Amino acid sequence: MSREKLPENLWEQVLATLEIELDQSIVATWLNKTRLFETDENRLLIACQDAYATEIIKNRYSDLIQKTVYDLTGKKFRFSFRSQPESTETITKGPLFDQLPSQTTENSQQITAAVNLQTTPRNTNLNPNYTFDNFVVGNSNRVAHAAAMSVVENPGSVYNPLLIYGGTGVGKTHLLHAIGTDLQRKNQNWQITYLTSEKFLNDFIDHIRNTKKMSDFRTMYRSMDVLLMDDVQFLGGNKEGTQEEFYHTFNELHQAGRQIVLASDRDPEEIEGLASRLISRLRGGLMVNIGMPDYETRIAIIITKSAELGMTLDPQMVEFVADLTPDNIREIEGTLLKIKSLALAQDEPITLGLIRSALQDTRSTKRSPSRKITPETILNLVTQTFDTTIKDLCGRRRKKEIVIPRQMAMFLLRNEIGMNLEDIGRILGGRDHTTVMHGCEKISSEIDENHNNYLKSQLRIIRETLYS
Ligand code: ADP
Ligand code: MG
């Protein structure tokens, strides 16, 4: 491989080319703040303005960047992208450059940190157990995580407010605390406060009722450096006074360049009874969604959390738990705790059997009336997933393509809705209960003992549909 020098202004050339290929606004928003940070023979490391931008650039523009560099240099590089705000950089461009570009960096953050040591933080309500370190990143929360990291890197500037929204137990509160804790560590004299909107409301009412000084309330809320407000959906409804107060608090903090991070269980637009001017303020920064964790994320979470709990689960057990707890991360934690306490109570090692019995009631609680699962639902899902028909499931044919889905139907009717063997036999074309029992056992053993990946994934698909 040639060791030709790269042109010193390579990155400027790349950006200029991208500006032609891409919309100018894209280059201005995401790419103009990137720098070529480090090079070696095969790899270029690109510094991006923050974690969120890094994620966007990596996912959307890395192919194009690679192609552009190839066009300009005739060389195929591997690329890494890293969040590296300009003020903290140390330039380490490698030997491939003609000369180091002159650039001075002043590390103002260090100076601020030194000054910050003088005072101690006031009451922040931050929970030190929710950190970035123990936040597992997967597809469902990757963007929210990156946005949260960016806020820590550039508080009060780019993403203000940051609003994280999504269903329950997906990690919104965790991220709010992680942001707060990290910012507090970096800026020890900042007043960083975590609170729910309900607390804000109660405080507000308290100050009105008890004729405490309203000016105290305002001074307190409007002097924060970082406001982390959870569950803002609670501001909805007939709470005009509180909304009005919050609107002014928000504006004052925002105008002063203080960082605001909000979490909500839905898009503010969907919060009933929320004043439209408040909605537009909340939506005025960056909004990121956290979805329900997908299978891989659940696996990663189970591995991390079980290790934290000092439990040893083999991969098969991890998958088993992941299959059965599709809902949310809080529920996964609950399940693991249940398994652990059952093992302790019975003084037994953790086995698939033990996990299954620990999960028994978890599964029955999932069967809430709102998502009533009927035998028809199960049979229909089985026919769709295995591409067969109800007629075949209930018929007499004994070909493998039909026997397996039929046994899967037995297994699901038994395990997901607890039907008894006789009833299952009856709806599946009048079969004997021992046949049904054999069918259920067959599927269990294929999955638990023979690691039949095909059946596992079919089962997962069916369960995800049943419980989503
Ligand atoms: P939300 O506020 O969205 O309802 P929480 O932040 O309270 O959810 O999360 C519920 C539980 O799940 C918490 O114990 C939290 O630590 C944990 N949790 C959520 N997401 C993750 C994650 N990505 N990695 C590790 N733990 C998580
Ligand atoms: Mg929460």
Higher pLDDT, 345 or 176: 176
Alpha carbon distance 48, 170 (integer Å):
27
Using 50, 70 and 90 to split pLDDT, how confident is the model at 374?
Answer: confident
Quick check: 89 pLDDT over 70?
no
Which of 49-63, 162-176, 427-441 is predicted with the least confidence, judged by mean pLDDT? 49-63
String of b and e for 36-60 (b: at least 16 CB within 10 Å)?
bbbbeeeebbbbbbbbbbbbbbbee
Where is mean pLDDT largest: 21-25, 109-113, 444-448?
444-448
State in Å: Cα 157 to ligand 2 middle: 25
**What's the token pair of residue 326?**
């599709």
Task: Count CB atoms within 10 A of the CB of residue 81.
Answer: 22
The number of the ligand nearest the C-alpha atom of 172 reads: 1
Task: Count CB atoms within 10 A of the CB of residue 97.
Answer: 16
Reduced 3-state DSSP string for 398-461: CCHHHHHHHHHHHHHHHHHHCCCHHHHHHHCCCCCHHHHHHHHHHHHHHHHCCCCHHHHHHHHH
Q: Looking at this protein, which amino acid is placed at residue 179?
A: I
Mutate to test the pocket of ligand 1, among 330, 333, 335 (most ligand atoms within 8 A of CB): 330
Alpha carbon distance 177, 222 (integer Å):
20
Q: Which atom of ligand 1 is nearest to the CA of 145?
A: 23
Please tell me the predicted confidence (pLDDT) of residue 87.
57
Task: Judge residue 31's burial from the number of C-beta atoms within 10 Å of its C-beta, 0-12 exposed, 13-18 middle, 19 or more buried.
Answer: buried
**Three-state secondary structure call for residue 132:** coil
Residue 290's DSSP bridge partners are: 166
Residue 102 dihedral angles phi and psi, to the nearest 5°: -80, 130
Segment 201-257, tens digit of pLDDT:
988 988 888 767 888 889 989 999 999 999 999 999 878 999 999 999 999 999 999
Distances in Å between the Cα of 105 and the Cα atoms of 22, 31, 87, 90, 114 are: 30, 21, 6, 8, 18
Alpha carbon distance 326, 357 (integer Å):
17
Tell me the longest C-alpha to C-alpha distance in the chain: 84
pTM of the model as a whole = 0.60
Please tell me the predicted confidence (pLDDT) of residue 114.
36
Contact criterion met (CB below 8 Å) for 17 and 68 = yes
State in Å: Cα 180 to ligand 1 middle: 15
Give 3-state DSSP helix, strand, coil % of the chain, rounded to 5. 55, 10, 35
Segment 322-352, tens digit of pLDDT:
988 766 788 888 889 889 888 888 888 898 8
What's the mean pLDDT in 261-269? 95
What's the mean pLDDT in 281-293? 93
Q: Which atom of ligand 1 is nearest to the CA of 231?
A: 2
Instruction: Confirm or reject: Cβ of 144 under 6 Å from ligand 1.
Output: no
Please tell me the predicted confidence (pLDDT) of residue 4.
61
Please tell me the predicted confidence (pLDDT) of residue 365.
44
Task: Judge residue 446's burial from the number of C-beta atoms within 10 Å of its C-beta, 0-12 exposed, 13-18 middle, 19 or more buried.
Answer: buried
State in Å: Cα 331 to ligand 1 middle: 10
**What's the token pair of residue 33?**
């703040």
* Mean pLDDT over each residue of the chain, to the nearest integer: 83
The count of residues in the chain is 468
Quick check: 172 pLDDT over 70?
yes
Q: Looking at this protein, which amino acid is placed at residue 369?
A: P
Please tell me the predicted confidence (pLDDT) of residue 468.
64
State in Å: Cα 171 to ligand 2 middle: 7
Which of 19-33, 216-230, 269-283, 443-457 is predicted with the least confidence, judged by mean pLDDT? 19-33
Instruction: Confirm or reject: Cβ of 233 under 6 Å from ligand 1.
Output: no
